[in-house]
Each structure stands twice: as structure tokens, then as C-alpha cells.
Amino acid sequence: MTFPRAPIAARLLGVLLLCLAPLAHAAGTSTPPPAGTPFPAPLLHSSDITYTVVLFHPTPPKGDVVAEARKLLASKYKELAGTWKPGAPAPEVEMKPVPSEELEPIDEELLRYFGRKLEAGEHKRLMGAKHATMLAFHVPFARRNEALLAATRFAHQLAAERGAFLWDAETREYYSPRRWKEERLDGWSGGVPSVPAHITMHVYGEGEGLRIITLGMAKLGLPDLVVEQVPQSMTTEMGTLVNGVAQLLAEGLELPGDGTLNVDLTRVKDAKVKRQLEGRTSKGARRSTKLRAIEAKRDNGDPENYLLEISFPGSGTQHARQLAALDTLFGDKPDSTTPVEPGDPELAEVARKARLRLNELKPRVEKGLRAPEQLMVKAGFRTDDGSSEHMWFEVTGWEKDRLRGTLANEPFGVSGLRRGSSVSVSLQEVDDYLYTRPDGTGEGGESSRILMRRQEGR
């Protein structure tokens, strides 16, 4: 899923992040590394881990929230109630109310991106919140997993008892207590967590390649992960790869000095993540490959954490190397095809209407589409035997009469193309379109419905 970059998350609680700055990684202030610099193995694990959860109270809280939180901490969460001492650090929690005047208003635009875990009615309640309580957790790496479990439980219990919403400052997501428990606590009683439940990914960018970055790995004392220049058609599989690498790192995968990243998905121990990976794997997949861990270049809005870029060694273009790694890990999965006679009148009418609609959409494409807005078109490509194979591609530009973009399908009979390849066609070659509007609703795709209906014999 694509999440646009939005600086409002940092703006929302900027004062809180400023007060925590001495405890955070200093990676954001370092000089950008040269391209391709191996990620330093000593920085893989952070000795001091800091993360923040903020409770938002929809109505003015009764009593002293912080005093009651301290009492709850001392009685039920003693593993967090330590004092940080040099040489023998123990988990500790800083708790304090956030003055109302220091909180920016929570509006619908903010919740559109960061309130996806909430229901519509919860949006309305949260937008009225003018009171908040900050919980800042300071944890040594050696106790990261037990401390994260206790912190997640503690924040949940306090929020549930107080009727508050939770904001994870690392992933920049809002939760209700119920959703927090379902996603982050149910099924986890100790040890390494299912990492995807505790992080999120932002996918953004313009043009033919998107950037994927995780948020939340700092809670595990690990760098956040970055993949650059990913074709839209490959973001789902690449996200699965990133989740697998994140889980392996949390379970103890180490880095040699040369930055080699030994990705062996068969070594994932967590049952939930293992099932997710297996669900993406086809027969014949090797499930292991050697990638590289390099220091990532920072971008606006990146988390204040070390950033590790997953790089793809080998020859060929960036997209070709990425695709080769995904094929090795998950197997090559060609898309299905449906034979169609040339000149099919029903599909010809769909194509005619699609071209008319595309002319209406052309100004939007030329201006630049912004997620979740997206345009896909289907066109025929010459196969090796001289026939035509009709495939979808994501439009990334429109110059004069030609639409260009990246191929979304894996060809059967076009040896010169792969999923993610750059392609270009004229408007008159377009058979159909799929347009995702700015509000997330869609239109088009009539040819696919016709072919599906025919396959089902309707």
C-alpha cells in the first residue's frame, strides 16, 4: 500500500520529539555516505533504544493520569520500572502530560494517512482530542524484546482504562486499544515479535521507481530498511522481501564487514511471518540469495534512525537485478493469459471508449499523479512468434501521443521484456485503462471483466 510522505506527522508532536532528541540516534545529523558504502556492522544494533507512545484523550481526563500510570507501572510492569544507570542500564519509562497548547489539531487530512487503523466514528472522536499523555521508553538492547512486550502491554492497559487512543511515534500510526491489542499483542507471549506487526512501510515517489522505507525498527534496536527505485508492479513482492529481512535481523541475522546480506527465508522462525512468506512462494523458488547492506541516503521525513539500504548485486539494470532476486526468493510466477481473436468487436468497443477517457485524463498525467492516484493501461506487445500479447503497465509519463511506464505483467512470449521493464506505446495502441482517483475509488478495467465472464461461461 502506498503512503504519501507527509511532514505533518513530525509537525504534530514536534515538541515531544525535540525533548527526546538527546536519547535518539544521531544518524540523521551525519554526513551522507558515499554511494554503495557497506553498512557498518557495529551500527546494526543500537545499545540504547528509545521509542514513544502518546495517549490521546478524546475528553478531558479525570484525575492524575501520570500518577496512576506510575502506580500501574510499579505494580504490574516492574520490568520497566528501573533506573537507567551507566554500565548497568535497565528499562525505564518517562511519563508526562502534554500541554494542550503544544498539540497541533488532528484533522481529517492527517487521519487519512495515519489513521488507517481507526474506524470512521473513531476519527471523529480523535479529532476532538485536546489532551495527551506521553510515554517514552528507554531500553537496553539486551532486553529489547521483553521490554517491547511489556511496553506494548502497559500502553494498551493504560489506554483501555482511560478510553484513550494510542499514537506510535515511530510508525506514526493511530490505534484504538482494541486494534492495538489485536495487531500487536494477540499471539505474542514472549521472545522475538512478528516484526511486521510493529513496523510500517511507506512507499512513495514519482516517475518509474518508488522508494520503500520501514518505520519502527528503532523499537527493536535495528536500522530501518530502504529499497530504492522499485517499479510499482513489484512493490508487493518487494515489501514481502523487506518484511522477511526485518524478521531475520530481529531474530539475529548478522552482517559481515563487507555488507553481504545473507537472506535465507527458510531460517525465519516466527510462525506468522513464515506463513506470509510461504504464501508468496511458488514451486521451484530457491528461497535464499545474497544481497548487500549499504548505508542509505536520507530523504525528508525519514525516521531518526540509522538507515540500511537493501542493494541488489549482479549485472543489468536496477530493475533487472531486483527482479532476479525476487525470482530467486519467491519463484517466477508468470501471469495467466486468455486467447482472444483479432478484431473482437466487444473488446474493440472497450478500447475505443478507453482512449476517449484517456484523452480526458491526459492533463492530470502531464501534471503528475500523486498517490493514491494511479493510471494503468493495457496494450499489445509483439511476441517472439509475431503475434501480440496484451499486458498492463503503470503510466509514469505522457509525451505527445505516447504513454510510457513500467510493465506490470510477466510476459509469456516477449523475451525482451520482464515485469518492471520500461515500455512506451501510442494512445491508439491502448486496449483498456484502470484509473485510481485521488479519493482511492477506481474506474475502467472493462476488458478484464469481459474476459473473466467468458472464462466462467457466462
For residues 279 and 241, the model is more confident at 241
Q: Say if residue 88's pLDDT is above 80.
A: no
Task: Please list, in sequence order, all residues whose beta carbon lies within 8 angstroms of the beta carbon of residue 382, skipping any fewer than 6 positions away.
Answer: 388, 414
Region of poorest pLDDT, from 173-177, 316-320, 454-458:
454-458
Strand partners, 212: 203, 227
Using a 10 angstrom Cβ sphere, with 0-12 exposed, 13-18 middle and 19 or more buried, the burial of residue 17 is middle
Written out in words, the top-level CATH class of the domain with range 45-191 is: alpha beta
Q: Say if residue 348's pLDDT is above 80.
A: yes
Q: Indicate the length of the chain as a whole number.
A: 458
Three cell numbers at 407? 510493465
Q: % helix / strand / coil in the chain, to the nearest 5?
A: 35, 25, 40
Confidence of residue 208 (pLDDT cuts 50, 70, 90): low
> How do residues 350-370 score in pLDDT, each as one tens digit?
999 999 999 999 999 988 888
The average pLDDT across 297-320 equals 92
For residues 173 and 108, the model is more confident at 173
Task: Please list, in sequence order, all residues whose beta carbon lies within 8 angstroms of the beta carbon of residue 242, skipping any fewer than 6 positions away.
Answer: 201, 212, 214, 225, 227, 310
Q: Say if residue 97's pLDDT is above 70.
A: yes
Confidence of residue 410 (pLDDT cuts 50, 70, 90): confident
> How do residues 424-455 score in pLDDT, each as one tens digit?
999 999 999 999 988 888 999 999 888 888 77
Domain residue spans of the chain: 45-191, 207-330, 345-455
The average pLDDT across 290-316 equals 94
Which CATH code is given to the segment(s) 345-455? Answer: 2.30.30
Using a 10 angstrom Cβ sphere, with 0-12 exposed, 13-18 middle and 19 or more buried, the burial of residue 224 is buried
Find the helix packing angle between 235-250 and 271-279, rounded to 10°: 150
Three cell numbers at 25? 540516534
Output Rg (C-alpha) for the chain, integer angstroms: 25
Confidence of residue 15 (pLDDT cuts 50, 70, 90): very low
- Predicted confidence at residue 334, as pLDDT, reads 60
Three cell numbers at 396? 509514469
Nearest-angstrom CA–CA distance, 90 and 138:
8
- Predicted confidence at residue 176, as pLDDT, reads 97
Tell me whether strands 374-382 and 165-168 are parallel, antiparallel or unpaired.
Answer: unpaired
CB-based contact 174:114 (threshold 8 Å): yes
Q: Say if residue 373's pLDDT is above 90.
A: no
Sheet containing strand 131-140, strands side by side: 92-98, 131-140, 48-57, 165-168, 173-175
Using a 10 angstrom Cβ sphere, with 0-12 exposed, 13-18 middle and 19 or more buried, the burial of residue 237 is buried
Nearest-angstrom CA–CA distance, 166 and 144:
20
Residue 109 backbone class (left: φ over 0; alpha: ψ -120 to 50; beta: rest): alpha
- Predicted confidence at residue 180, as pLDDT, reads 98
SS3 233: helix
Does 345-455 match 45-191 at the fold level? no
Nearest-angstrom CA–CA distance, 191 and 111:
32
Confidence of residue 335 (pLDDT cuts 50, 70, 90): low
